[in-house]
Structure 1
Amino acid sequence: MRDLSYLFVMTYGRSGSTLLSGLLNAQPGWLIRGENHDAVHHLYDFHRAMERASEAGPTDALRMRTHPWFGAADYPRRKALAKTRRLVLDTVLRPKEDTRVTGFKEIRWYQPDLPEYVAWLREVFPGARFLVNTRDHADVLKSKWWADGDKSDQLAGIERRILDVADDLGDAAYRVHYDEYVADPSTLAAMYAWLGEPYDEEQVRATMAVRHST
């Protein structure tokens, strides 16, 4: 398996994250895919279900053909993590020959098991980093995506959970704010430094000049 670096964009709907993905993908060797309807979280659910099954009783008992959980004790955890990485790489990320950094952006980081899911992602994708994108809530809530009733508390709660997880990740996470970098692209220089990539303001402005979904 090729030596790749991984980055995942954590955000919520209508935060301007598609533009952020465009900025990342403008870097040579970067391939950050778009949303996958939280498909990877379903793989986490599978993994956790199998782990729980493997703990359904004493190991020797779970290996008996007469046990209702026969075979569950021998769930190959490390192999499952490696196979999951291969599956996501082959079907979701699909890195190209020149890809150095890959990952995806997702807006569905509102699960109650978010800390555990992120910890699992870091096991599946060693060295993974997480880029958090936020935006002024008043502008986010103007979108039809959030238009069904007053969802200000819901949005604030989602952002808080994301930021709490990011805080726990330390240097493996970084936060940018859409309104700030759109108003002044130079504020992204620190993000590029964190990414280990050169900051090219001309390239950044050229990318921003192209319409992206926000």
Structure 2
Amino acid sequence: MWKDRSVEYVFVVTYGRSGSTLVQGMLNAMPRTLVRGENGLYVQHLFRAWQAADDIRQKRKGPSAGRPTNAFFGINSLTRGRFVRNARRLLVGGILGRQDEKDVDRIGFKEVDWHQITPEETEPFFAWLEDVCPGAKYILNTRDVEQVLGSGFWQRQDADTAMAAIKRVIEIQDHLRATRPDRVHETRYEVITGEDRAASDAALTALAEFVVGRCDPPLLETLRGTLAVGHGPNPFGKSRRDKKGA
């Protein structure tokens, strides 16, 4: 069972077909780091559960709610701190699975469903997430949007719907850049996978330094080796645009 000890949290904030599974692979190649894949952003449902509970609590709390004859008996016991602690256990337990907690110092997940967060709940959501995951870091992964729209599952989506989802994630990335500049890091698919070895190495080094605080030559070689491994549902697959140009 997870003991509420000091651990670092890192989340990949991006949209689908941006190379995020490759970034996930890079993170898992780093020492004592466990970053899981997509989970439907279920933590958002935990946040909304708290919002719903807190709404009724604010309306019905008070001395009378301490009496068993009151319809809202016990609502005063529903505190943010207690809810957060239990949400942390659920989130961390879901990330760890069968992984021994003693083997990791950094945990998190990558997700492409951040567009589900509405504009109005953006800051309340991340403030709550950081109560659950203190000091959370965010990797903002990007890729040329035209290439993204011509790749994988986006090809089966309505163009306007797809663009709206991607733009919403970009808005969230911008929000995190503006409000948490010391806890965000940029990764760019084209740079990491590009033919410019120096630029790619610099990007990999910066990523490792952001996550684990260092990047020695063996770790850099490990990360470079990860580039040669297929990641995602269509590893090394070509986009519609690539096929048209072939």
Contact 1:54–1:72 (Cα < 8 Å) also in 2: yes
Structure 2-normalised TM-score?
0.80
**How far apart, in 1, do the equivalents of 2:45 and 2:122 lie?**
13
Contact 1:81–1:123 (Cα < 8 Å) also in 2: yes
SS of the residue 1:43 aligns to:
helix
Q: Kindly indicate whether residue 214 of structure 2 is the aligned counterpart of residue 211 of structure 1.
A: no
**How far apart, in 2, do the equivalents of 1:182 and 1:64 lie?**
63
The one of 176, 179, 202 equivalent to 1:187 is 202
Q: Kindly indicate whether residue 133 of structure 2 is the aligned counterpart of residue 142 of structure 1.
A: no
Identical-residue share of aligned pairs (%): 31
CA positional deviation for 1:117: 1.3
**How far apart, in 2, do the equivalents of 1:92 and 1:191 lie?**
21
In proportion to residue count, which structure has more helix?
A: 2
- The answer for unaligned runs of 5 or more in structure 1 is none
CA positional deviation for 1:153: 4.3
CA positional deviation for 1:15: 0.9
- Partner AA of 2:82 in structure 1: K
**How far apart, in 2, do the equivalents of 1:58 and 1:24 lie?**
44
**How far apart, in 2, do the equivalents of 1:58 and 1:37 lie?**
33
| Aligned counterpart, 1:177 | 188
**How far apart, in 1, do the equivalents of 2:71 and 2:135 lie?**
38
Structure 1-normalised TM-score?
0.91
- Partner AA of 2:186 in structure 1: R
- Partner AA of 2:58 in structure 1: E
The equivalences for 1:1-214 within 5 A come to: 1=3, 2-94=5-97, 95-96=99-100, 97-110=102-115, 111-112=117-118, 113-147=121-155, 148-150=157-159, 151-183=162-194, 184-188=199-203, 189-195=205-211, 196-199=213-216, 200-213=219-232
**How far apart, in 2, do the equivalents of 1:161 and 1:125 lie?**
18
Contact 1:31–1:99 (Cα < 8 Å) also in 2: yes
Higher deviation after alignment, 77-86 or 159-168: 159-168
Change over 3 Å in CA distance of 1:66–1:114 after alignment to 2: same
Higher deviation after alignment, 52-61 or 170-179: 52-61
SS of the residue 1:55 aligns to:
helix
**How far apart, in 1, do the equivalents of 2:142 and 2:79 lie?**
38
**How far apart, in 1, do the equivalents of 2:46 and 2:88 lie?**
10
Structure label with greater radius of gyration:
2
Root-mean-square deviation over aligned CA pairs: 1.9
